[in-house]
């Protein structure tokens, strides 16, 4: 069975914010490392961060800070990016502020402002004050370096979060006028057409081949509601919910709702035996390398996600509630979707 997952850990923002936590091309930064040892640690830190080895990245950037006696902005920017990817926005804000205090050129200052803005958007999603503060950081970046397309897109995202779509579209237009790289351009065009998506939690694209040999992708299922069931045979609440999930498949036709069970079982035989014994005839997939789990940020089992026909995650249910069955909770969410209302 094969799998592909896109969308790198930014689902909480709805769409990937340009440059979010991914670091910036070295060519964008005017500062040069003061000596080879510092340059080496910076490179090690960046490579570790991109590989998802966050502890190694933090250690490298902290060694960089020690070598420079905390006098080089790039070291703090590395920490800010790593903390953001780890989901520690408060630490990222603190490191971004230190980078700003150390920056001596406009590009370094602008990038530090963007990193801080990204952290503020994640600091308290839904908090208007955080959105306003993020907007201020992004505006500072665009004023310092108006020719960087991604900075305008970041500013647009903060405006969309505040339901200021017309202003956001102006920034998106500026972004596209600057002929950004393909990824930034793609996100800009999507937001221009669907600004409300920037206020929603967007599901990452995925493609997988089920136990039944069916190739499925989120794009292919466009227009249908998708329910993802993350489970395992060793999880008692997961096993207990099988009967209810069968009820769900009977209530809605496959033209309306597609249920996909994603197992994290390492024991393939146990998984095959259980799904066969319980007649789990809906799409079944074993997430061998846990790409699906990582992409959808699943940390407990069972977890259920309801994705509407446009690719927005409308509900996340983790664990079981003794007072309410899984199907009751899912049906409540599904019945609220306009496309399923009779």
How does pLDDT run across 265-282, given as a tens digit for each residue?
999 999 999 999 999 999
Q: Read off φ and ψ for residue 141, nearest 5 degrees.
A: -65, -45
For residue 31, the model assigns a pLDDT of 57
**Among 129, 85, 75, 137, CA closest to 111:** 137
Of 204-213, 239-248, 332-341, the one with minimum mean pLDDT is 332-341
List C-alpha distances in Å: 181 to 148, 157, 177: 11, 17, 12
The two structure tokens encoding residue 302: 């069972």
For residue 7, the model assigns a pLDDT of 34
Radius of gyration of the chain (CA): 22
Q: At what angle do helices 149-161 and 106-123 cross, to 10 degrees?
A: 30
For residue 78, the model assigns a pLDDT of 94
For residue 125, the model assigns a pLDDT of 58
| Residue keyed to tokens 């509900």 | 315
pTM score: 0.72
Checking if the pLDDT of 254 tops 80, the result is yes
């Amino acid at each position: 069975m094969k799998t592909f997952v896109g969308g790198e850990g930014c689902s909480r923002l709805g769409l990937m914010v340009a440059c979010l936590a991914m670091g910036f091309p070295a060519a964008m930064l005017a500062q040069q490392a003061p000596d080879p040892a510092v340059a080496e640690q910076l490179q090690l830190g960046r490579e570790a961060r991109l590989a998802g080895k966050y502890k190694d990245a933090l250690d490298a950037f902290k060694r960089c800070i020690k070598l420079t006696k905390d006098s080089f902005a790039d070291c703090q920017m590395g920490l800010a990016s790593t903390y953001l990817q780890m989901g520690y926005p408060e630490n990222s804000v603190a490191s971004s502020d230190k980078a700003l205090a150390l920056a001596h050129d406009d590009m370094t200052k602008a990038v530090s402002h963007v990193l801080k803005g990204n952290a503020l958007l994640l600091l308290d999603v839904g908090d208007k004050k955080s959105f306003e503060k993020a907007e201020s950081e992004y505006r500072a970046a665009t004023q310092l370096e108006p020719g960087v397309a991604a900075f305008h897109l970041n500013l647009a995202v903060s405006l969309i979060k505040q339901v200021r779509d017309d202003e956001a579209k102006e920034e998106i237009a500026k972004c596209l006028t600057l002929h950004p790289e393909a990824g930034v351009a793609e996100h800009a065009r999507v937001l221009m057409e669907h600004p409300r998506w920037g206020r929603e939690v967007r599901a990452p694209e995925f493609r997988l081949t089920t136990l039944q040999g069916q190739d499925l992708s989120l794009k292919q299922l466009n227009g249908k509601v998708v329910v993802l069931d993350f489970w395992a045979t060793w999880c008692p609440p997961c096993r207990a919910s099988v009967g209810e999930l069968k009820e769900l498949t009977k209530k809605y036709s496959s033209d309306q709702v597609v249920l996909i069970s994603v197992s994290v079982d390492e024991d393939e035989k146990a998984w095959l035996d259980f799904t066969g014994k319980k007649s789990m005839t809906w799409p079944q997939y074993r997430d061998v390398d846990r790409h699906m789990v990582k992409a959808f940020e699943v940390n407990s089992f069972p977890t259920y996600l309801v994705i509407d026909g446009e690719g927005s995650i409308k509900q996340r249910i983790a664990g079981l509630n003794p007072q309410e069955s899984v199907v009751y909770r899912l049906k409540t969410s599904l019945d609220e979707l306009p496309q399923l209302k009779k």
